[in-house]
Amino acid sequence: MAEAIQHGECIEKIMNAFAQIGHELTNKQAEQFFQYYEMLVETNKVMNLTAITEFDEVLQKHFVDSVLKSEIFIKEDTKTLIDVGTGAGFPGVPLKIMYPQLKVTLLDSLNKRLNFLNQVIEKLGLENITTVHYRAEDGARKAELREQFDCVVSRAVANMSTLCEYCLPYAKVGGCFVAYKSGNAEEEIDKAKKAVHLLGGVKENAIYFDLPDSDIGRSLVIVKKKEPTSKKYPRKAGLPSKEPLQ
């Protein structure tokens, strides 16, 4: 009985947290987030997926964080999305739950993380979502992935110049790349100007905000893809992080 009450409380918390940021979830979506949480914590016992495991923190710092302000870049004509360096599935899986019509690709260099995500996809009954196993630099050279996506997202830890080289090659001309950053990314954005230009992009917007009921600062940096990325980018694996374009 206690477990059922806890389950009910968690569902209510999920629905309230999303309503607070302007997203009304269906019962099915709330259940999917709860199942995702359970699988994340269970699998985390045997594999390092996240340092955050307490329910309220996962809800705030992973689920809400993944979709907060997403209405700014997920438009009616956004059909395809790739999450580069998805890790435990953030922000790609929450965005898929939130916007079930999206066709989503989750890219990561570690197979065991993708095995976990494939289990999540199956358990949650998600459709039109696939995982691909590549380093970001290598995947971006594959014809089936290069310049194929309306929206590219990444919450991976890397400086803005490096992230742009990893991610902009995946965006269609007219599409966008959205970098999820912690704190104020103003200085990073400034340093990445040359990289953005070289890779065919232009900074469209940078949004700064705190997660609800906290002083945890976040930035969303939106880069519009204006022209095709030169075939010389991304450079070979390892170079974008060792020698960021400046």
Q: Tell me the residue type at 139.
A: G
Question: Which parts of the chain fold into alpha helices (H)?
Answer: 2-20, 27-44, 55-58, 65-67, 92-98, 111-124, 136-139, 160-167, 186-191, 193-198, 239-242
Q: Tell me the residue type at 1.
A: M
Q: Tell me the residue type at 147.
A: E
Check whether 85 is labelled as a binding-site residue: yes
Q: Which residues pair with 84 in a beta bridge?
A: 107
- How do beta strands 103-108 and 80-84 pair? parallel
Does an H or E element contain 83, and which? Answer: strand 80-84
Does an H or E element contain 176, and which? Answer: strand 171-182
Check whether 136 is labelled as a binding-site residue: yes
Q: Where on the phi/psi map is residue 50: left (φ > 0), alpha (ψ -120 to 50), or beta?
A: beta
Binding site listing: 85, 90, 136-137, 155
Binding-site annotation: residue ranges for S-adenosyl-L-methionine: 85, 90, 136-137, 155
